[in-house]
């Protein structure tokens, strides 16, 4: 269970002018739920995710995971960034190992093998990042985030740099992993259709500072076809809520 | 996902390494073309007596002089002492630069305390230390080694600090999210990320080491390649001067090739332009 109460974030700019990124965010995400944050750029979606991951400290309000306040990154929370962020000097195997360094060696090997198998990269364990395609690199990043078996997986526009075919494959893949592993999934996206096909709940964020403008529940059975009329209707509703004009 | 496609790329990568090795050896040979051409031109110049022999002796005379020096055992001693001075000065300078660079690179406080002074010292032309070093340490080995160490220090220090500060913040964030300990952060992220820049510093430092050993030996020495040059000048033997020059070029190139070979091994993960172009002196 993720609880966010009255969260605010203000960045102190060097010139003295402070930039308010988030204001009055209150939000709960239940176990095994998939929640997406959709919003115009600058609405603070990524900042919100970074605060939940413990990479950024809030200026006001509080964030707790299963009742414990977030004070920094923890193994409970896996994070996938917009870019794969692999260490170019480490093989796929060693990149995934980074999340496991405090575990016994044998356990590390077993978990790496399992995680690479989950994302279909077993045959590329010894490959280096420069040899991977964009989709494979991002799957390595997902393996690195999941290998620790976190209860929460945060994804910051994880598929935005991929071509649409690879993106859809990875979305399905992620759903399959989620159905099996029971983690709570919170992700930021620009892709409204992606939000509708994956999420239980969509939070539309808007404005400077960013606030939650609308909350939309998606009660459609999975898998959801991208072309289904219900999906299209929701997509239009969200685009309207974003008020892109 | 186009797994087959990527698999092909991966195996291709391995095949490329073999092809690269072949390309590399021919490039090495190409690098010899210019010196050989110059040697021929030089030989021709002396055969045609375009330049008087007391200014530019024939190649044969230069190599003969070197061979004579080698047979007497003197040349080996000169090379050995010069190499030893460079090695020692390089070790001292590199060690100091590595420790100080690591400190100022990783701690903002130390950077603010130390870096301005180090930058100011950098502005002093290194040869300007000579009088002081001679006054403090005499004209023997200590002052020479220290002068070389000063020359070696700055490029290594600057490159190391630049490398540490230039480490991708995004990768450091990954380390935080993964819960890496401070030691693992240094070992698995900061050191490899800094390595390319550090190795560039080592190469530049070594080049300066060879430069400064001459300065040190010109300022007063009884052995060494620099002394050999002075001796050749005093006794009017241009063959000796040119011979020593050639030996300096060879020694510098050899030691540089050593660092380059080590760099190539350590940085094989890099995905740079030079990797595909295979420039032998990138």
pLDDT tier at A15, thresholds 50, 70, 90? low
Q: Would you say B224 and B81 are in contact if contact means Cβ atoms under 8 Å apart?
A: yes
DSSP conformation class of A83 = S
Angstroms from A15 CA to nearest CA on chain B: 21
* pTM listed for this prediction: 0.83
Per-residue tokens: B184? 């693992």
Tell me which fold the domain A2-76+150-242 belongs to: Rossmann fold (3.40.50)
Nearest by Cα to A141 from A70, A180, A90, A106: A90
Q: Taking 60 as the threshold, does the pLDDT of residue B280 lie above it?
A: no
Q: Determine the residue among A57, A86, A88, A157 to mutate to test chain B binding: the one whose Cβ has the most chain B Cβ atoms within 10 Å.
A: A88
CB distance A107 to A100 below 8 Å: yes
Q: State how far the Cα of A211 lies from the Cα of A191, in Å rounded to an integer.
A: 19
Put simply, the answer to whether B178 touches A88 (Cβ < 8 Å) is no
* Interface mutation vs chain A, best among B5, B173, B174, B184, most A CBs within 10 Å: B174
- Interface predicted TM-score of the whole assembly (ipTM), two decimals: 0.89
Q: Which is it for the CA torsion A189, A193, A197, A202, positive or negative?
A: positive
Q: How is chain B split among helix, strand and coil, in percent rounded to 5?
A: 85, 0, 15
Average pLDDT value over all residues in chain A: 91
Show the domains of chain B with their CATH numbers: 56-277 (1.10.3720.10)
Residues of A at the B interface, defined by Cβ within 8 angstroms: 53, 55, 72-75, 77-79, 81, 83, 85, 87-90, 98-99, 101-102, 120, 123-124, 127-133, 135-136, 139, 144, 148, 166, 169
Answer yes or no: do B271 and A88 touch at CB < 8 A: yes
Tell me how far the alpha carbon of residue B234 is from its chain's centroid.
30
Kindly report, residue by residue over B109-164, the tens digit of the pLDDT: 999 999 999 999 988 888 888 888 888 988 888 989 999 999 999 999 999 999 99
Q: What pLDDT, in 10s, does the model give residues A182-219?
A: 899 999 998 999 999 999 999 999 888 888 889 999 99
Between helix A164-181 and helix A134-146 the angle, nearest 10°, is: 20
Query: Cα separation of A173 and A120, whole Å?
Result: 10
For the segment B233-249, what is each residue's pLDDT rounded down to a tens digit? 898 888 999 999 999 99
Residue B112 CB: number of other CB atoms within 10 A? 10
Residue B170 and residue A83: Cβ atoms within 8 Å? yes
Domain with CATH 3.40.50.300 in chain A: 2-76+150-242
Nearest CA in chain A to B171: A85
- Per-residue confidence band for B54, with pLDDT thresholds at 50, 70 and 90: confident
H-helix or E-strand spanning residue A26: strand A18-29
Query: Cβ–Cβ contacts within 10 Å for residue A48, how many?
Result: 30
Q: Which position has the token pair 């080996």?
A: B76
Report d(CA A200, CA A217) in Å as an integer. 6
* Dist CA B63 CA B42 (whole Å): 13
Give the pairing type, strands A201-206 and A34-39: parallel
Structural element, H or E, at residue A206: strand A201-206
CB A29 within 8 A of CB A1: yes
Query: What is the band of B35 on the pLDDT scale with cuts at 50, 70, 90?
Result: confident
Q: Between A55, A73, A133, which is nearest B179 by CB?
A: A73
């Amino acid at each position: 269970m993720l609880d966010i109460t009255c969260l605010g974030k203000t960045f102190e700019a060097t010139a003295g002018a402070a930039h308010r990124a988030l204001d009055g965010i209150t939000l709960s995400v239940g176990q095994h739920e998939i929640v997406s944050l959709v919003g115009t750029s600058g609405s603070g979606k990524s900042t919100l995710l970074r605060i939940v991951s413990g990479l950024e400290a809030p200026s006001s309000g509080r964030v707790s995971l299963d009742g414990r306040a977030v004070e920094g990154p923890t193994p409970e929370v896996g994070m996938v960034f917009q870019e794969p962020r692999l260490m170019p000097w480490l093989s796929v195997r060693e990149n995934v190992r980074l999340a496991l360094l405090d575990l016994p060696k044998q356990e590390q090997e077993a978990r790496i093998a399992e995680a690479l198998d989950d994302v279909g990269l077993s045959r590329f364990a010894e490959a280096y990042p420069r040899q991977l395609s964009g989709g494979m690199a991002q799957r390595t990043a997902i393996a690195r985030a999941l290998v620790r078996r976190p209860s929460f997986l945060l994804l910051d526009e994880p598929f935005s740099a991929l071509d649409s075919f690879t993106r859809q494959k990875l979305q399905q893949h992620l759903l399959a992993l989620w159905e099996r592993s029971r983690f709570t999934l919170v992700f930021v996206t620009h892709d409204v259709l992606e939000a509708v096909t994956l999420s239980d709940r969509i939070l539309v964020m808007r404005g400077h500072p960013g606030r939650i403008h609308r909350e939309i529940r998606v009660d459609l059975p999975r898998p959801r076809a991208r072309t289904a009329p219900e999906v299209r209707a929701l997509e239009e509703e969200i685009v309207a809520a974003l008020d892109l004009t | 996902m186009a797994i087959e496609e990527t698999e092909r790329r991966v195996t291709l990568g391995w095949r490329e390494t073999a092809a690269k090795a072949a390309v590399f050896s021919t490039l090495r040979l190409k690098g010899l073309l210019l010196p050989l051409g110059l040697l021929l031109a030089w030989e021709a110049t002396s055969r045609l007596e375009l330049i008087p022999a007391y200014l530019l002796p024939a190649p044969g005379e230069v190599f003969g002089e070197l061979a004579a020096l080698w047979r007497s055992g003197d040349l080996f001693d000169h090379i050995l002492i010069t190499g030893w001075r460079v090695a020692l000065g390089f070790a001292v300078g590199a060690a100091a630069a590595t420790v100080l660079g690591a400190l100022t690179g990783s701690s903002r406080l130390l950077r603010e305390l130390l870096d301005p002074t180090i930058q100011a010292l950098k502005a002093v032309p290194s040869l300007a230390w000579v009088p002081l070093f001679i006054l403090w340490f005499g004209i023997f080995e200590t002052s020479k080694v220290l002068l070389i160490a000063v020359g070696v220090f700055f490029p290594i220090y600057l490159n190391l600090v630049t490398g540490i500060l230039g480490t991708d913040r995004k990768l450091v964030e990954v380390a935080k999210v993964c819960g890496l300990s401070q030691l693992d952060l240094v070992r698995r992220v900061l050191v490899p990320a800094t390595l390319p820049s550090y190795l560039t510093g080592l190469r530049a430092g070594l080049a300066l080491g060879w430069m400064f050993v001459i300065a040190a030996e010109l300022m007063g020495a009884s052995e060494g390649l620099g002394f050999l040059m002075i001796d050749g000048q005093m006794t009017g033997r241009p063959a000796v001067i040119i011979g020593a020059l050639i030996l300096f070029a060879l020694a510098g190139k050899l030691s540089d090739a050593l660092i380059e070979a080590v760099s190539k091994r350590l940085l094989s993960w890099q995905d740079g332009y030079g990797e595909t172009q295979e420039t032998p002196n990138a």
